[in-house]
């Protein structure tokens, strides 16, 4: 029986983050069957979708001479410069065709402001500009969230940390996530989540 106070938040299961995509996470499509099965156990289901304009400042291609995966200081803090990915309206930005999207109550599009990246489902990377998800969940009476999707060490972790900061009970199903693991980013993200009280479950 699905509990109405518990939400499943499915992070960025999009073509560009799956094998063959422009920013493919290893085995990114291997989690889809588990995510689809998990949806039946939650009263609220939310999908997030990276949705970047082509001129997004997080793209290395928009900084002449900058290397992909290098760091750049933005007004809101350090920013990884990514390959171009999940451009608005592109095939790469679409949800993976294996993901069941019909059960979703809400789709949150993030990263659509060209001057700021948005890893978290709750806030832009300035940690203050909201996506609207918190208000939606509170209006639905949600007190606990479970996160799955891509990638563990970036958008999933940022979402989990923000959810904990907002007072939700937070679980990350690591078996239904995959990581990029950029220069030790996975170990760092796991440590931060555990320190924040996030439950890391298999």
Q: Which residues are catalytic?
A: 12, 110, 155
Query: For the residues of 60-81, what is the DSSP string, one character each?
Result: GGGSTTPPTT-EEEETTEEEE-
- Segments in the chain forming alpha helices (H): 32-38, 133-139, 157-165, 185-195
Distance CA 99, CA 143 (A): 25
Please name the residues in contact with 108: beta carbons below 8 A apart, sequence gap of 6 or more: 46, 47, 48, 49, 121, 131, 132, 133
Residue 50, strand partner residues: 110
Tokens describing residue 71: 């760091």
Are 22 and 92 in contact by the 8 Å Cβ rule? The answer is yes
Longest CA span, the chain:
54
The whole-angstrom separation of Cα 74 and Cα 94 is: 28
């Amino acid at each position: 029986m699905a509990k109405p106070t518990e939400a499943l938040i499915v992070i960025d299961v999009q073509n560009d983050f799956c094998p063959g995509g422009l920013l493919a996470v290893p085995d990114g499509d291997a989690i889809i069957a588990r995510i689809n099965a998990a949806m039946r156990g939650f009263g609220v289901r939310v999908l997030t979708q990276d949705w970047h304009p082509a001129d997004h400042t997080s793209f290395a291609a928009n900084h002449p001479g900058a290397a992909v995966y290098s760091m750049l200081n933005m007004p809101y803090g350090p920013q990884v410069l990514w390959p171009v990915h999940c451009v608005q309206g592109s095939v790469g930005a679409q949800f993976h065709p294996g993901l069941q999207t019909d059960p979703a109550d809400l789709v949150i599009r993030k990263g659509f402001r060209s001057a700021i990246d948005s890893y978290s489902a709750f806030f832009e990377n300035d940690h203050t500009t909201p996506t609207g998800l918190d208000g939606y969940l509170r209006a639905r009476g949600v007190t606990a969230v479970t996160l799955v999707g891509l990638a563990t060490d970036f958008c999933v972790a940022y979402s989990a940390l923000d959810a904990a900061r907002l007072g939700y009970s937070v679980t990350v199903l690591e078996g239904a996530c995959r990581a990029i693991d950029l220069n030790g980013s996975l170990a760092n993200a796991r440590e931060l989540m555990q320190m924040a009280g996030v439950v890391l479950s298999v």
